Structure 1
Amino acid sequence: MNGQNRKDVLPGKTVDIVLKADQRTGKLTRGIVKDLLTKSSTHPHGIKVRLTDGQVGRVQKVHAE
């Protein structure tokens, strides 16, 4: 799943995000969602989340459990 729909991104899910500093390169960071920061139901660049380690970025991929 891509990370554009808020209903697909839930706390505790494993996701790949792109950090603000990595937007030019597209480097992905894997982690577990702690908080959802985007309030709208969809976002074209991905839902913004905070991972359990404190990193913030936009979800590019949601991994199936």
Structure 2
Amino acid sequence: MAGGTNRADIRPGLRVAIVLKKDQRTGALTEGVVKDILTKSPYHSRGIKVRLADGQIGRVHAILGPAA
């Protein structure tokens, strides 16, 4: 399970675990498939921001692998 701090490691179609804005205090993770990468910089210390296929937006905490 890799981290999600490097933009080059993330691409649409990957299954990831993200932390939603509302869950930042608790650190609760939400799993989904990446639709769009929203962070423009190649690196972000708190995780690359993505939009999931279901429309939720958050920072990647872990890369789980290819979508099923």
Q: Does 1:58 align with 2:59?
A: yes
Provide the rounded CA distance (Å) in 1 between the counterparts of 2:65 and 2:48: 17
Structure 1, unmatched stretches of 5+, are none
Q: TM-score, normalised by structure 1?
A: 0.97
Q: C-alpha displacement at 1:63, in angstroms?
A: 1.2
In the alignment, residue 42 of structure 1 is paired with which amino acid? Y
Q: C-alpha displacement at 1:64, in angstroms?
A: 2.6
Name the residue aligned to 2:44: 43
Identity among equivalent pairs (%): 60
Instruction: Map 1:1-65 onto structure 2 (within 5 A).
Output: 1-65=2-66
Contact map agreement 2:16 2:65 (CA 8 A) in 1: no
Secondary structure of 2:22's partner?
A: helix
**Consecutive aligned runs of 4 or more in structure 1 exceeding 6 Å deviation:** none
Q: More strand per residue: 1 or 2? A: 2
Per-residue CA deviations over 1:43-62 (Å, capped at 9, x if unaligned) read: 00000000000000000000
